[in-house]
Amino acid sequence: MSPTPDSRRSAIAEEQAFLDTATALRDRLLARLADEVADAALDGDRALHRVLRAQHDELLLASDRLVFGRLDGLDGVVWRIGRVGVREDDVRAEPLVLDWRAPAARPFYTATPVDPQGQARRRHIRTEGAVVVGVEDEPLDGSSASDLVGEGALLAALDRRRTGRMSTAVSTLQREQDEVVRADASGPLIVQGGPGTGKTVVALHRVAYLLFTHRQLAERAVLVLGPSPRFLDYIAQVLPALGETAVVSATCDTLVPGAEVTRAEDRVVSEIKGRAAWQRALEERVAALRPRPRDLELRWEGERHVVDRAVVAQLLASVRARPHHRARTAFAEQLHQVLAELIAEHREAALAEVEEGFEDILARVDRGLGGAAHDGPATGSDVDGRLSEEEVDELRAAIAEHPTIARFVEHWWPTLDAGEVLRGFLADPVPLGGFLTPGEVALVVAEPRGWSSGDIPLLDAVADLLGDADPARGRAESIADRARAQRGWTYGHVVVDEAQELSEMQWHMVLRRCPARSITAVGDIDQAEASHRHTSWARAVHATLGESWTAAELTICYRTPSEVMALTAPVLEKAGSRNTPPRAVRSSGVTPWERSTTTADLPGAAREAVAELAGRRRGGTVGVVTARAHVAPLKALLGNEFPVLTATEAKGLEWDATLVVDPEGITAEPRGWNGLYVALTRCTQELGQLRIA
């Protein structure tokens, strides 16, 4: 039964009254927190200041959709759901607004008429600022057959004009999406999802959920890895809007501080450098750079002391498992101790000789005096010459601080630069020949100077094997800033978007940053355009994760209209896909169109087509996806108003309308059918194709 205008007005008035109450409470809490933040700053309590500032900022950001939902239980209990929890100072009191991440809020996303989970009704509340502008009631008594949660609210959100930035979806998450958001985080979770299934938004909301549920994760921060800086800019507003700041966003190319990608790389070489075999080869290379056992001759206060080869071998063996520079530090500390003990033994021996000679002198004197000078047995000095433990420790400390000893250690076990080590390895055909073919070795050795994307994972591996030469770090203001500055930082959780593009060596980069393997990877194996040839997740992650990962799948396409998804089946078949395309839940009512033009007329035809799309999508967004050869001229033609991207660059992005220029040119590129699949599925409303006859 449809609601009457009067009942709708009454419901809106009811929710407006509640929103007014919640807003007033939020404002009081904000004022109190602002005072507490100021007091903590004056007191110099940085830890408390960070906590209070985070609470203040979370409440401040929650002004948009402070309340967006309501659950009416079969037992009469009513909950309002919002972006954050809002409660009175009494922590024992029930919250006025329930945080969407709280367990009690989960039925808002998962209850269905078949499985109502104790709920009688779900209400979606639409607000503009502090004003309620609409409500949508969803009975959970079986009278509705839709498998979508809040279908009206969802479709309204999907039809909304795109702004060029991703927004939150806390009020419209669907059941299968919520299952991924709240899935266990104890091991790698790999989420397969076709275009428009909400992979990215699910991954980001999962970050917010995990930081809320597992507060300790914020102590180590969360890393979000995206495919490109453009993509990271596109999603930049989502997590702050959800109240989360303990997050570092990066691409694989930017994970090593100080290293910059300065050149492109041939796909063949990129595939070679992405193989897992490099990890073992680099381990062997760095291990070979460690010094070998030999007698070590050191001088202290003019005296020569020799540390025996067998002792050196024992010290080296004791630090073998540590990274190169940390092993050197540990070895040096043990060497200082050994040298201190050698010096102590030398002094004891010297004193013993002096004492023995002194006793002989006393004995001769005694005999000359007829024994009258010594009533008892001859004992010499009462001091045995042995250094106490405290004196040995003082001697060791002096050795550790002495510049001559430090220079000796540096000469024998020098500090290494990761870049220099890798450059030397890449230029040396002998070790490369141990795991590459002669033809592959020739390609790698011929590479010019400068880092490529394929070099960064190798550089990261070498840097990890070497370890920090100087582990001392300054303390940045925020956890995220500290994590961003330190290559070796380990995160509480890692999210990888467009994970199908990662090479095996890039997966090694991910695992180094989260040894606990609390990882969420989302992607579409059918959109893979990287140089590797993986066509399944099992093959893509076998070298690094083995079989120790959990799979999940998103099967419903919310973004791309059914008219466009109907075009993708033959494209997927030619791409070699074995997956079922996601099911589109909406129609835009616009039939995809295509035109033909000549190479000479392409600029004019492209300008005209983009202008038409922009005119029909006034206030929305239009994107152009094309073959690589057309990107530069079309960018020059269209300027900065309309993005012109390759299929690879467009991955993860969306526009109201998309113009695909030269689809045949896209399919002619490496893994081109996968690229065309990406290009066709970027729009939310209208798709046009411009073919070159």
What is the model's pLDDT at position 497? 93
What is the model's pLDDT at position 141? 74
Element (H, E) at 690: strand 683-692
pLDDT at 382 over 70: no
194 is in an annotated binding site: yes
Kindly report the number of other CB atoms within 10 A of residue 32's CB atom. Answer: 13
Please give the structure tokens belonging to residue 316: 């080296």
**Residue type at position 473:** R
Highest mean pLDDT pick, 300-309, 576-585, 596-605 = 596-605
What is the model's pLDDT at position 404? 86
Average pLDDT, the chain: 86
Residue-level length of the chain: 693
In 3D space, the residue among 525, 573, 517 whose CA is nearest the CA of residue 545 turns out to be 517
200 is in an annotated binding site: yes
144-153, 351-360, 375-384, 630-639: least confidently modelled range: 375-384
pLDDT at 190 over 90: yes
243 is in an annotated binding site: no
pLDDT tens for each residue of 610-666: 999 999 988 889 999 999 999 999 999 999 899 999 999 998 888 999 999 999 999
102-106, 241-245, 274-278, 622-626: least confidently modelled range: 241-245
Highest mean pLDDT pick, 297-311, 474-488, 524-538, 586-600 = 586-600
Percent of the chain predicted with pLDDT > 90: 52
Query: Between 147 and 398, whose confidence is greater?
Result: 398
Write the burial class of residue 457 (CB in 10 Å: 0-12 exposed, 13-18 middle, 19+ buried).
Answer: buried
Q: Compute φ and ψ for 369, nearest 5 degrees.
A: -95, 5
Highest mean pLDDT pick, 79-88, 327-336, 624-633 = 624-633
pLDDT at 1 over 80: no
What is the model's pLDDT at position 481? 83
Band of residue 362 on the pLDDT scale cut at 50, 70, 90: low
What is the model's pLDDT at position 426? 97
197 is in an annotated binding site: yes
pLDDT at 372 over 80: no
pLDDT tens for each residue of 448-483: 999 999 999 999 999 999 998 766 555 555 777 888
> Mean pLDDT over residues 87-102, rounded?
83
What is the model's pLDDT at position 160? 55
Highest mean pLDDT pick, 245-249, 385-389, 588-592 = 588-592
Strand partners, 658: 623, 687
433 is in an annotated binding site: no
Q: How far apart are CA 375 and CA 342, in angstroms?
A: 38
pLDDT at 358 over 90: no
Please give the structure tokens belonging to residue 383: 């001091």
Domains of the chain (ranges; CATH) run: 5-163 (no CATH), 199-286+420-554 (3.40.50), 291-366+387-412 (no CATH), 562-692 (3.40.50.300)
Q: Compute φ and ψ for 535, nearest 5 degrees.
A: -120, 5
Q: How far apart are CA 322 and CA 473, in angstroms?
A: 20
Q: Which residues contact 99 (CB under 8 A, 6 or more apart)?
A: 82, 83, 84, 85, 105, 212
What is the model's pLDDT at position 165? 52
Between the CA of residue 105 and those of 86, 182, 417, what are the distances in Å?
14, 12, 52
> Mean pLDDT over residues 281-300, rounded?
91
58-62, 149-153, 259-263: least confidently modelled range: 149-153
User: What string of DSSP letters covers 199-260?
Assistant: HHHHHHHHHHHHHHH-TTHHHH-EEEE-S-HHHHHHHTTHHHHTT--SEEEE-GGGSSTT--
For the chain, the helix, strand and coil percentages under 3-state DSSP, each to the nearest 5: 45, 15, 35
198 is in an annotated binding site: yes
In 3D space, the residue among 177, 251, 163, 282 whose CA is nearest the CA of residue 622 turns out to be 163
E strand spans, 351-435: none
What is the model's pLDDT at position 585? 84
561 is in an annotated binding site: no
424 is in an annotated binding site: no
> Mean pLDDT over residues 660-685, rounded?
94
What is the model's pLDDT at position 604? 95
Band of residue 364 on the pLDDT scale cut at 50, 70, 90: low
Q: Which residues contact 372 (CB under 8 A, 6 or more apart)?
A: none
Band of residue 672 on the pLDDT scale cut at 50, 70, 90: very high
Please give the structure tokens belonging to residue 403: 């510049």
pLDDT tens for each residue of 58-82: 788 777 789 999 999 999 999 999 9
* Long-range contacts of 364-369, Cβ-Cβ distance < 8 Å, separation of 24 or more: none
What is the model's pLDDT at position 157? 55
What is the model's pLDDT at position 49? 83
User: What string of DSSP letters covers 254-294?
Assistant: GSSTT--B-S---HHHHHHHTSTHHHHHHHHHHHHTSPPP-
* Long-range contacts of 235-239, Cβ-Cβ distance < 8 Å, separation of 24 or more: 235/165, 235/166, 235/200, 235/204, 236/165, 237/165, 237/166, 237/167, 238/166, 238/167, 238/168, 238/201, 238/204, 239/204, 239/207, 239/208
What is the model's pLDDT at position 23? 93
- Would you say the pTM of this structure is higher than 0.95? no
> Mean pLDDT over residues 191-213, rounded?
89
Q: How far apart are CA 198 and CA 555, in angstroms?
A: 10
Percent of the chain predicted with pLDDT > 70: 87
Band of residue 363 on the pLDDT scale cut at 50, 70, 90: low
What is the model's pLDDT at position 318? 94
pLDDT at 167 over 80: no
pLDDT at 383 over 70: no
Between the CA of residue 258 and those of 486, 496, 552, what are the distances in Å?
10, 22, 36
Between the CA of residue 85 and those of 101, 121, 178, 199, 202, what are the distances in Å?
9, 21, 18, 25, 20
Q: How far apart are CA 66 and CA 80, in angstroms?
A: 10
What is the model's pLDDT at position 204? 87
Please give the structure tokens belonging to residue 58: 């979370």
